[in-house]
Amino acid sequence: MSGPPSGGRDEPDGPVDPDVDLRVPAHRAETAGGLRFRRTLAVLAAVAAGGALGATARYALISAWPAPPGGLPWATLAVNTAGSALLGVLMVLVAEYGRGHPLARPFLGTGVLGGFTTCSAYALDTVTLLERGAAGTASAYLGGTLAAALGAVWAGAAAARAVLGGRAVAG
C-alpha cells in the first residue's frame, strides 16, 4: 500500500478512476467488492464501452452538421456545450445524491461524455480558423466554447439540484 495509513481499513493502492477520491464514501463504492484486478477490468470495460458510444454519437453529429470553410464549427460547440451540461447533471447525481451503479460514473462520465465532448477538435477547429485567416471567428469560437461549456456544466448541476430538491446524501 502506498500513501498515508488508512486507519486499519483495507484500501487499494490508488484510485482506479483518477477522479475518485477514496475519502468520499460514494466514490469508494466505485472500487468496492471483488479483486482489484477484476474491479480495474470492469472500470476499463465501462469506460471503453461508454467512450465508443460517446465518440460515435459525436462523430455522427459533426458529420451531419459540418462547419463551412472559415465558418463557426457549430456542431463541435453544440457537442461540447451539451456534454458539459450532462456532466453537471451526472456529477450531482453521483457525487451529491449517490445515485446509480458503482460503474455509472466511469461509464457515463469518463466514457460516454468523455468520448462525446472533444477538446482536440475544439483546438484543431480554432487553429484551422486561424490558418484560414478567420481570426475573429477563431477568437469568438475559442472564448464562446469555454463560456458555453462552463455555463452549461453550472446550469446542468443547478437544474439537477433544483429537480432533486434537498435530498442529497451525506458524503
Instruction: Give the residue numbers of the binding site.
Output: 114, 117
Cα 13 versus chain centre, distance = 24
CB atoms within 10 A of CB 87: 22
| Annotated binding residues for Na(+) | 114, 117
Q: State which H helix or E strand residue 167 sits in.
A: none
Query: What gap in Å lies between CA 15 and CA 29, rounded to an integer?
Result: 11
- Are 114 and 53 contacting, i.e. CB atoms less than 8 angstroms apart? no
